[in-house]
Amino acid sequence: MIPTRRTLLAALAAVGTLASLTACGGGSSSSSGSSSGGSGGTYAFWDPYPQFNASSAWGKLVTSCGTKAGVKLKRTAYDTTDLGNKALLAAQQGNAPDVMLVDNPVVSTLVEAGILNKTSDLGLDTKSIQKNIIGAGTLDGASYGVPIGANTLALYYNKKVLSAAGVDPASVKDWNSLTAALKKVKGAGKKGITFSAINTEEGSFQFLPWFWGAGGDLTKLDSAKGVAALSLWKQWVEAGYAPKDVLQNTQTTSWQEFATGEYAFGENGTWQLGNAEKAGFDYGIINIPAQNGGSAPVPTGGEFVTVPVQKDTGRYDVSKKIVTCLTSDANLLPTDTTLQYIAPTAAVQATQVKQNPKLKPWVDAVAAARGRTSGGLGTKYPTISQPMWTAVQAALSGGKSPQDALATAQQSAQKG
């Protein structure tokens, strides 16, 4: 008797210690007000901006949009990587928020899960939004959200480092001239370029301008064009033009490297502009060059305002008012200024450039940008992106040749 009981207990203990690993986070605190539509009541609002509290400009805007719609808007901020899974869990429990701001590549996943309403069903007007920006939230011709703003990538450069190495930033027009510039910088005893090649979505986001700049196609990762892009990165790391730790760099740590003033170039986003002013050296911005000259297509970043499906369809009227308020031209301007995003409408972009002429190259870059999930990829994108960042890691760490790494990636992308 005793041995069996002990067996059971020990087995339970062994299992129990592991259970913590497998218990996938339970339903989190989420509250969609119980009172039905009409005036009054509480509406739930989720966003991925934990850096802004209730007293920030963004927090106040959210509250005021709720008040204008005649309801109390309860805002909850999640970490951006967490928000997609939280939304899925909440939808499964039947308590999705009324309005939710999500990162654009997540939109297609949520649409696949069947938890987002079409903007046309809600009667939202999206005509003024730039086509390529709303593209990331468009599936089979229907859009499922309104972009709050867009950001993208470009090359920041350190003027002092470049002039010391005798490089004219205007001479950087294609990959060859960029590599030549990096060589000169290294010869002058400084460091070349830093970027993020980490094994998460961030790594794919940073690799895409080069992949697309070579003419690569995400459905054929191992084409000669894709291999050319990965070979470029590998060549830089091997020649010491880029540091080895790009493999670990997030976009934030990559920025910190650039901010040391040692690096000539840093691939980073619109959202670093505020930090660039504080960096303490003269900087400039050029668009990421394509392989044979011209600007490379860059991926769009930024969030979409979405309206998750509710059992009580009477709530949509108020939700629509809230979305319209958040994405009105008058409100987009301060929001995108705070977030350091480029507005999704031409009218607001013009005002932004008037206020800050330095934004001009960014507006151009956004105009040339593509959604990662655009072009009919939708939820295929995540199953391509993960093998792609794994291939980048495998090639840059010296484990595999770019050709082999991308061939493996293509195989697992096809399996889905």
Partner 1 sequence: MTIARVDRPRRAPSAAAGAGGADASSLRRRHRRRSRLTALAFVTPLLAYLAAFYVYPLYRNLDLSLRDYTVRSFVAGDAPFSGWHNFRTVLDDPTFGPAMRHTMVFTFVSIAFQYAIGLALAVFFNRHFRLAPTLRALFLIPWLLPLIVSASSWSWMFNSESGVVNYFLHFLGVSPVGWLTSPDWALTSVIVANIWIGIPFNLVILYSGLQNIPAELYEAAALDGASAWQQFRRITFPLLRPVSAITLLLGLVYTLKVFDLIWIMTKGGPGDASSTLATWSYQLGFGTLLPKFGPGAAVGNILILIALVFGLLYIRVQRRQEA
Query: Could you list the residues that contact partner 1 (CB under 8 A)?
Result: 3, 6-7, 10-24, 84-85, 88, 91-92, 105-106, 109-110, 112-115, 198-201, 243-245, 247-248, 257, 379, 381-383, 385-386, 390, 393-394, 396-400, 405, 408, 412
Judged by CB, which is closer to partner 1: 113, or 180? 113
Q: How far apart are CA 12 and CA 78, in angstroms?
A: 34
Judged by CB, which is closer to partner 1: 145, or 289? 145
Minimum CB–partner distance for residue 386 and partner 1 (Å)? 5
Q: How far apart are CA 358 and CA 87, in angstroms?
A: 36
State the Cα angle at 89 between 382 and 306, rounded to 5°: 70
* Residue in the structure block whose two tokens are 């096809």: 414
Taking alpha carbons only, the member of 327, 358, 288, 339 closest to residue 130 is 327
Judged by CB, which is closer to partner 1: 248, or 275? 248
Judged by CB, which is closer to partner 1: 338, or 412? 412
Minimum CB–partner distance for residue 5 and partner 1 (Å)? 11
Minimum CB–partner distance for residue 54 and partner 1 (Å)? 26
Q: How far apart are CA 169 and CA 386, in angstroms?
A: 34
Minimum CB–partner distance for residue 165 and partner 1 (Å)? 20
In 10 A of CB 275, how many CB atoms?
A: 16
Taking alpha carbons only, the member of 184, 340, 342 closest to residue 265 is 184
Give the tokens for residue 160: 């002092």
Task: Give Cβ neighbours of residue 278 (< 8 Å, ≥ 6 apart).
Answer: none
Burial 14-31 (b: 16+ CB within 10 A, else e): eeeeeeeeeeeeeeeebe
DSSP 94: T
Judged by CB, which is closer to partner 1: 315, or 372? 372
Q: How far apart are CA 382 and CA 256, in angstroms?
A: 28
Residue 167 corresponds to which amino acid?
V
Minimum CB–partner distance for residue 182 and partner 1 (Å)? 16
3-state helix, strand, coil in the chain (%, to 5): 50, 15, 35
Minimum CB–partner distance for residue 49 and partner 1 (Å)? 19
Minimum CB–partner distance for residue 16 and partner 1 (Å)? 5
Judged by CB, which is closer to partner 1: 114, or 357? 114
Judged by CB, which is closer to partner 1: 290, or 396? 396
Judged by CB, which is closer to partner 1: 199, or 338? 199
How far lies 41's CA from each of 29, 59, 69, 339, in Å?
Answer: 18, 19, 11, 29
Give the tokens for residue 348: 């607001």
Minimum CB–partner distance for residue 317 and partner 1 (Å)? 24
